Amino acid sequence: MIFDIIKNRRSIFPAQYNSKPIDKSDIEKILEAANWAPSHKKTEPWRFKVIQGDKKAALGEFLSNTYIDITANPKQIKSKKLIENPKKAAVILAICMQRDPLESVPEWEEIAAVAMAVQNMWLCCTEMGIGSYWSSPGLIKYMDEFFTLNEGEKCLGFFYMGYSDEEPLEAERKPINDKVEWL
């Protein structure tokens, strides 16, 4: 039932992943789920770059080196984490947004559409037993130095995916009635 999948969706971090690979057909199914997100005026602004194999290590090196280059007092532990996390994931999807060249909708609506695409992927991963996590480090503004982005395209983060042997933690939410005003 979809409500149960929504309630059970959790961030599963790269440190929790095991070494089990994700089948290409499963990655394609996850991407297809993203493609069914709503978008105003059908701009379909979501774009994804599938990062796997040696490219994961290259991404980690790039993120770490960029962090060191732009940070006054870089922390070695953070630099190491930037290198290691991509290698721990079975697959990483760079989450990108292609801005409508006609700007027929406000940019925030296209960002929201991409976020809904990511939520579709996250729910699909949950249903398939694949751990996932959306990371949006400040370093994403430098991603045009790592891979080619089209004019008007920008990176909004990374969607890490991998299988985990750990059980997801139980989540808590404050009651919805605390967040709703009935008029």
Residue numbers belonging to the annotated binding site for FMN: 9-11, 40, 134-136
CA 4 from centre of chain: 21
Helices (H), the chain: 2-8, 24-35, 54-70, 76-88, 107-128
The pair of three-digit structure tokens given for residue 98, joined into one six-digit string: 């292609």
Angle formed by the axes of helices 76-88 and 54-70, nearest 10°: 160
Per the annotation, where are the binding residues? 9-11, 40, 134-136
Beta bridge partners of 46: 97
3-state helix, strand, coil in the chain (%, to 5): 50, 15, 35
